[in-house]
Structure 1
């Protein structure tokens, strides 16, 4: 992964490009939300979904009837992940920007066909967000497993792009009496809300009350 390919090489603002596994993996692990780009019936689509990483592979899942999953199987896809860390306010409209972390992954998506592997990947996804939750849930049925598709994508062709820091104004603009700086942005996790049909006396476990990511 350390050597960029023609598709992953960052061309615009190339100094922001990063190709090492630690950076790419760190961004993927910081948010479960991704967008999957693919072609269906000759037309381009981009579908948001949840992703997770295990080692040097990215995974996502959904209904076996999903058009997106059907189109992605054994096909070339592009998966992106983006996190906004701040709005960068400059002294000119042209130099406004965002502080962000992003990843772009190219490759051929592979469908998991072995039920045991599929279940293991779904367990890793669940426990990766909420440690210990899988084993406290009602066991997944064979029909539920059959109705779920899991796709894998090797992280062989991936790159990250990152911006941090204050605005980069034109030198002459620093003399202008205009406020400039960064408005930090973060995703907030709020207190859990009980299901109205929760049984009396059932309280949320620590993986719910202490939940966080990013």
Structure 2
């Protein structure tokens, strides 16, 4: 499935309200992949025993991965209690970026500007050696592109302590909001204030470890510049 393929939400990934904010046509999958590329953290929901659990996870995306629609890889500790419940089960992975606070003239119409992806699918444990190595590199490169190639290979102990889940990207949706408040005409006529507070991720100066002797590597410098440029584009 290419990035040109439209998103085709199933009933489980179809909005029941504010459907105009769904990205379902041509370009929707490309927008989904852009959000999944930019966002640093995902949340995975799974039923463990008699209760649901939602956990923040590191993740990576391979649009050409072996699963239907591409693959979303979720990183976990092999000792995590929820891992056994997730492997082979249907899970929900969400990724959200908040771009602003929308302050209306009534509490009902307060909102946020956001981009939110929802991916639902049966998770599988990634056990094959080459796919595991590929997924681990993608996870590192999701943090800083190109960094995996600069690091030593993981040890057997590290590999044994690390688990990976793969979730198909076929059943996914993307919903976004942008713009100002939408108030009732009578509230606007009453003259109260309304507006938005844009939110952007701040990128500070790189802080080297106290025992680091080498200069900041090029991949880190380049990524910081990308993050600042991205923040500047959204602020502009």
Please tell me the TM-score bracket, short chain as reference.
over 0.9
1:126 pairs with one of 140, 145, 148: 140
The alignment's TM-score, normalised by the length of structure 2, stands at: 0.84
- 2:219 equivalent to 1:211: no
Counterpart-to-counterpart distance in 1, 2:146 and 2:48: 37
Query: What's 1:83 paired with?
Result: 97
- 2:107 equivalent to 1:99: no
Counterpart-to-counterpart distance in 2, 1:69 and 1:126: 20
The alignment's TM-score, normalised by the length of structure 1, stands at: 0.92
Moved over 3 A (4+): none
Counterpart-to-counterpart distance in 2, 1:210 and 1:186: 19
How many residues were matched structurally?
A: 212
Q: 1:23 to 1:132 in 2, by over 3 A?
A: closer
Q: 1:82 to 1:132 in 2, by over 3 A?
A: closer
SS of the equivalent of 2:219 reads helix
SS of the equivalent of 1:187 reads coil
| RCO comparison, higher one (Cα < 8 Å, 6+) | 1
1:3 pairs with one of 2, 5, 8: 8
Structure 1 residue 87 displacement after superposition: 0.4
1:50 pairs with one of 45, 50, 58: 58
Structure 2 residue runs of 5 or longer lacking an equivalent are 1-5, 64-69, 231-236
Structure 1 residue runs of 5 or longer lacking an equivalent are none
Query: What's 1:13 paired with?
Result: 18
Structure 1 residue 44 displacement after superposition: 0.8
